Structure 1
Amino acid sequence: MGSPAERRGDARELAAWLEREGVRTLALTWVDNAGIARVKAIPAARLAYAAQRGIGMSPVFDVYTSEDVMTESEHISGPSGDLRLFPDPDRVTVLAAQPGWAWAPADRYDQKGEPHPACQRRFARTMAERATAAGLDLRMGFETEWVVTRAPTGHDPAQDDAFAPLEYPCTGPAYGMTRIVELSDYLRDVAEALALQGIEVHQIHPEYAPGQFEVSCAPGDPVRAADDAVLVRETVRAVSVRHGLRASFAPSVIAGQVGNGCHLHLSLHRDGTSLHRTPDAAWGLAPDAVAFLGGVLDALPALMAVGCPSPASYLRLQPSHWAGVYQCWGIENREAALRLIPGAPDDPDGGHAEIKTFDGAANPYLVVGAAIAAGLHGIESGARLPDPESEDPGTLTVRERARRRIVRLPGTLTEAADRFEKSAPLHDAMGKVLHGAVLAVRRAEETRFAEADDEELAAATRWRW
C-alpha cells in the first residue's frame, strides 16, 4: 500500500482530480459474507485522510446475514473492536449514473495496520498472488444477470412489498429483440454508464425470464474482475432507479422461474501463452490447465457454499435449466457445471472455462479466491478431468448417470455448507477466521429459512441483492 505519507500525497492529487470532475462524495464498499455490498461514504475532500488513516467500521459485519441479523463465529462476534477501511486509489471511479459521486473498493486492516484476516478482497488478492508465484497468469470475468420490475400501481411504499405482485417492463420472447426495443433507452444507458466507468462490455442482451438481462464483461486479473462485478451491479441498480425501475440480482426472483446466475469465466496462461491452446493435447488443455480445472470440478460441492450462498440459491439450481446442477464438465455443454469454451480456432488467446452454478448472492471476492484455491490444490495434488459430457445429465436415467459417475451437486445450503466445513483446501486457503465467519453466516441463513416454503423464501430474499 505504500507508506502513510505516500498514500496521503497520492490521495491529495486524486482528491483534486475528483473535485475537478464535480465529485463531492466517495462511496467505499466492501462485500460481506452474505454477498451484500456494505458502504461507508465520505466527502471526496477527505480522501487523503482515508488513504492515510482509514475509515472506521465494525468487524461484526463479517457475521451479518443477508437480512442484517448479527450472528457470531468463534473469532468474530459482538459490538467490540474496530477496523479501518482503506480505499484502493487505483480503482477510484467517477459514477456515471450518480452525479457528484465516486466509488472505490476498500481493503480492511486492524487498528495496528495489520491486514484483517477476514478481508475477502485481501483473500482474493492472496490467492491471485499464489497463482502468479506458480507461474500462472489467471484472467477472470463475470456474467451478471438481473431482473427489472416496476412497482405495482397504487402500492403503498410504507408496507413491506416483498410479497407484492411484480410488474415487468418488457414482455417479449426470451432472448428476443422485442425486449431490446421495449427497454432500448434503459439498456443504452446501462452500457454507456459502464463504458464511462472503464468497464469493457462484451455483451448485453435479454435472458430467459421476464424482465431479465445479462451483461458480460472483459476478463482481467482476479481482483479487478471481482471489483468490476461489484461496480457493474451498483451501476445497473443506479441506472434502473433513474428509469423508474427496480433491479434484482437475487438467485430466485419468483419461485419456479429461471433465476439469476453470476457465472465465473476463467482462463490460464503462462509466459504469454494460453494453456487452452496446447497442440495435440486432449481438449487442447495443457497439463496444468487439466489439473487446475480438475481441482475446481472436484471442489464444486464445497465451492457451492461460496458461490451459491443463500437457501434461495437452491431454488435456481434445477436440472435442464442451464444452471449446471450435476458435477460434470463438458465442451460447450451448458448443462455441465464446468463448461469448457474452446473459442475461435484462429484466436491464439482464445479458450476458457465457465463455472455455471454460481449466482448473484455470492461475494465475488470469495468466489475468485476460492476458485483459485481449488485450482491450485488441483495442480498440487495432480487432479485429473474425467471424460467430458456432451448430453444433458438431467435427461439420463439414474443408472446411466451412475455408470458415468455423474452425481448431483448439493441441493440445499445445508449440504453445501457441510462440504465446505470439511474442505481442508478451502479452510487452509481462507484461514480459520474467514472460513469460520463464512460458515457461521451459512448456518444462520439455514436456520432462518428452515421452515419457509419456496414462495416465501424467494419473496423474502428477492430485494436483498
Structure 2
Amino acid sequence: MNADKIARLAHDQGLRLVRFLWCGNDGTIRAKASGRAGLEGRLERGIGVTTGMQVMNSLDQLQHVAGMGPVGEYRLIPALDTFRVLPYAPFTGAVLTDHHGLDGEPAEVCQRSFLKRMEARLAERGLNLRAGFENEFTLAKRNEKDRTVHPLDSGLCFSTISTTASQHYADALVAALEAQRIPVDQYYAELGHGQQEISTAHAPALQAADEQVLVRETIRGVAKSRELIEKLKVELTASLAPKPWIDQAGNGTHVHFSLWEGDRNRFYDEGLSDLALAFIAGVLEHLPGLCGLTAPSFNSYRRIAPGTWSGAYTCWGLDNREAPIRVASTFTGAEEATTNAELKSCDATCNPYLALGGLIAAGLDGIQRGLELPEPVEQDPAGLTDGERARRGIAPLPANQAEALDALARDAVLTEALGPVLTESYLAVRRSEWMAYSAGDAAFEFQGHFEKY
C-alpha cells in the first residue's frame, strides 16, 4: 500500500482524521492526527513531533536527557502497510510510525527501529522470531454520578455466566479486530472480577508488536465506543493495567515465541531442539534485566508474586504456570506448528517493540554462548526450600520496578542491544515513574495505571 492509495481510501471512506501512532518509553500509546488535507504528503514525509516526547513519562512529566527537550524535532514516518480504518472511532484511520531524525535516518531512540535491528541480527542466522500475545484485561462499568469504576461481573474463571455478561463487548471487540486484519485465536472470561483474556495469532516479531499496539487500542476503544454505550445503556471502560484491584487477579500480557527458518519451526526437533534450548537459556539468564522491559511499571510488581501464576522466580518448566518461562505442550498431529515457549513475566505497560527486541537479544546471547538450560522445575518454585532453590540456581525475580530497572542497567547484553541513547532515555522515564508512585498512595497508583493502560 502506498501513500496515494491510502489517501484515496481515506477520501472514499470519508475519513476525517488519520492517527500517526507510536508507543513511547513509558509504554503509553500516543498519536498526532492528520486531516484529509495534506494527508498524502504527511504519509510520504511524516509528521513533526518534539524530541521531548521520548522522555515524557506516563504522568506527562518531562525528564532531562541531552538532546530531548524543548529544542529539536523528530519525524513520525508511517509504516504504510500498517494502515487501518478504526472500527471503534468513526471517520478515523491509524498507521504505526517510526521516529526519524531530520537527516532521514532512524532515530537512536526509536523503539520500533530497535526491534528491526534485533530482527536483522536474527536474520543473519537465517532465523525470524514469531510471537503471539495473550492479553488479560479488566472490563468495568463506570458509575454515572461519581465516575468510579466497578468490575462488570463477579463470575468464576471460565464461567459461562461471565462470558454472557461480556457477550456484546466481546462480539464488538472480535469484529473490530477482524476488520483490522488481526486474527483472534481465543477469548474467554478469566479469574478476576470483570477479567477477560484475548489471544491473537502469532506473527513475525515486528508485525506482532504492531498488532499488539492496535489490539491495546482496540480493547479500550471498543469499550468507549458510542455504539456499544447506546446498546448496553451503561458506560464501559477497559484496562490492561497489571493489577487494577489489589484483591483481584492481575492482568498479564503473555508472549508465546518460537524461532522459524522459512516455514520450518526451528524450536521443534522431536521435542525441543538444541537451538530452542539455547535461546530459552539466554532468555532465562537475562530475565531479571528483561523484566525492566517486559514488566516495567510500578504496578507490574503488584502482579508478579509467588502463588499468582505470574512467574516470580528465575526458572522454566514444562506446562508449569508458576514458572516465568513455560514450554507449552504441543497438540497431537501438529507438533511442529505448536512447539513454542511462553514468557509470563510480561504485561501491557511494556512497549512491545522493546519487549520483543529484548527477548531476541537475550535469546541470541544464549545461542552465541551455547548456554544450557537447567533442569525444568516441575512444581511451584515457592514450595522449594531456600536451600533447594539456591542449589538449583533459582532466585526471586525483581521485587519492584526499581530493582528491575537496576537489573536492566547492569545487563550489558541488553543495554548494548538498546544502545546508549535508548538506554538512557528509557531508564530516565521509568525511574521517574518509580519516584512518583513510590511517594504516592494506592489510589494515586490505581488511577495512574488503570486509566492509561
**What is the TM-score when the length of structure 2 is the normalising length?**
0.95
Match of 2:86 among 72, 86, 95: 95
Q: Does 1:330 align with 2:321?
A: no
Between the aligned partners of 1:459 and 1:387, the Cα distance in structure 2 is 42
Q: Do the aligned partners of 2:88 and 2:221 also contact (CA within 8 Å) in 1?
A: yes
Between the aligned partners of 2:327 and 2:342, the Cα distance in structure 1 is 6
- Following superposition, the deviation at residue 223 of structure 1 comes to 0.8
Q: Secondary structure at the match of 1:349?
A: helix
Q: Do the aligned partners of 2:21 and 2:29 also contact (CA within 8 Å) in 1?
A: yes
Match of 1:295 among 279, 282, 295: 282
1:231 corresponds to: 214
Between the aligned partners of 2:329 and 2:359, the Cα distance in structure 1 is 20
- Following superposition, the deviation at residue 84 of structure 1 comes to 0.5
Aligned residues: 444
- Cα shift readout 1:391-415 (whole Å, capped 9, x = no counterpart): 0112222232223221110101111
Q: Does 1:210 align with 2:193?
A: yes
Q: Secondary structure at the match of 1:336?
A: coil
Q: Do the aligned partners of 1:254 and 1:459 also contact (CA within 8 Å) in 2?
A: no
Between the aligned partners of 1:12 and 1:258, the Cα distance in structure 2 is 47
Between the aligned partners of 2:126 and 2:298, the Cα distance in structure 1 is 38
Between the aligned partners of 1:153 and 1:394, the Cα distance in structure 2 is 43
Q: Do the aligned partners of 2:267 and 2:275 also contact (CA within 8 Å) in 1?
A: no
Q: Secondary structure at the match of 2:187?
A: strand
Change (3 A) 1:143 1:184: same
Between the aligned partners of 2:37 and 2:44, the Cα distance in structure 1 is 13
Q: Do the aligned partners of 1:276 and 1:350 also contact (CA within 8 Å) in 2?
A: no
The equivalences for 1:376-387 within 5 A come to 376-387=364-375
Q: Does 1:17 align with 2:9?
A: yes
1:109 corresponds to: 100
Q: Do the aligned partners of 1:125 and 1:223 also contact (CA within 8 Å) in 2?
A: yes
Q: Does 1:306 align with 2:298?
A: no
Q: Does 1:448 align with 2:448?
A: no
- Following superposition, the deviation at residue 455 of structure 1 comes to 5.2
Match of 1:61 among 50, 53, 63: 53
Between the aligned partners of 1:167 and 1:416, the Cα distance in structure 2 is 31
- Following superposition, the deviation at residue 374 of structure 1 comes to 0.8
- Following superposition, the deviation at residue 453 of structure 1 comes to 4.6
Match of 1:118 among 109, 116, 139: 109
Between the aligned partners of 2:243 and 2:236, the Cα distance in structure 1 is 18
Q: Does 1:222 align with 2:197?
A: no
2:231 corresponds to: none
1:278 corresponds to: 269
- Following superposition, the deviation at residue 150 of structure 1 comes to 1.4
Q: Do the aligned partners of 2:318 and 2:329 also contact (CA within 8 Å) in 1?
A: yes
Q: Do the aligned partners of 1:28 and 1:41 also contact (CA within 8 Å) in 2?
A: yes
One-letter code of the match for 1:112?
D
What is the RMSD of the two structures over their aligned residues, measured on CA atoms?
1.6
Q: Secondary structure at the match of 1:414?
A: helix
Match of 1:394 among 382, 390, 404: 382
Q: Secondary structure at the match of 1:288?
A: helix
- Following superposition, the deviation at residue 22 of structure 1 comes to 2.7
1:146 corresponds to: 137
- Following superposition, the deviation at residue 153 of structure 1 comes to 4.2
Q: Secondary structure at the match of 2:206?
A: helix
Match of 2:157 among 156, 167, 174: 174
- Cα shift readout 1:58-82 (whole Å, capped 9, x = no counterpart): 1111111111111123x34421100
Change (3 A) 1:46 1:265: farther
Q: Do the aligned partners of 2:50 and 2:69 also contact (CA within 8 Å) in 1?
A: no
Q: Secondary structure at the match of 2:413?
A: helix
Between the aligned partners of 1:95 and 1:271, the Cα distance in structure 2 is 32
1:428 corresponds to: 416
Between the aligned partners of 2:166 and 2:392, the Cα distance in structure 1 is 45
- Cα shift readout 1:25-55 (whole Å, capped 9, x = no counterpart): 1011100111010100001453321133210
Between the aligned partners of 2:95 and 2:250, the Cα distance in structure 1 is 29
- Following superposition, the deviation at residue 456 of structure 1 comes to 4.3
One-letter code of the match for 1:52?
E
One-letter code of the match for 1:72?
H
- Following superposition, the deviation at residue 124 of structure 1 comes to 0.8
Between the aligned partners of 2:371 and 2:54, the Cα distance in structure 1 is 33
- Following superposition, the deviation at residue 132 of structure 1 comes to 1.4
**What is the TM-score when the length of structure 1 is the normalising length?**
0.92
Change (3 A) 1:456 1:255: farther
Give 4+ residue runs of structure 1 displaced > 6 Å after superposition. Answer: none
Between the aligned partners of 1:322 and 1:92, the Cα distance in structure 2 is 36
Between the aligned partners of 1:256 and 1:127, the Cα distance in structure 2 is 39
- Following superposition, the deviation at residue 273 of structure 1 comes to 2.1
Q: Does 1:38 align with 2:21?
A: no
Change (3 A) 1:453 1:387: farther
Q: Which moved more, 1:203-212 or 1:269-278?
A: 269-278
1:320 corresponds to: 307
2:127 corresponds to: 136
Unaligned runs of 5+ in 1: 1-6, 158-163
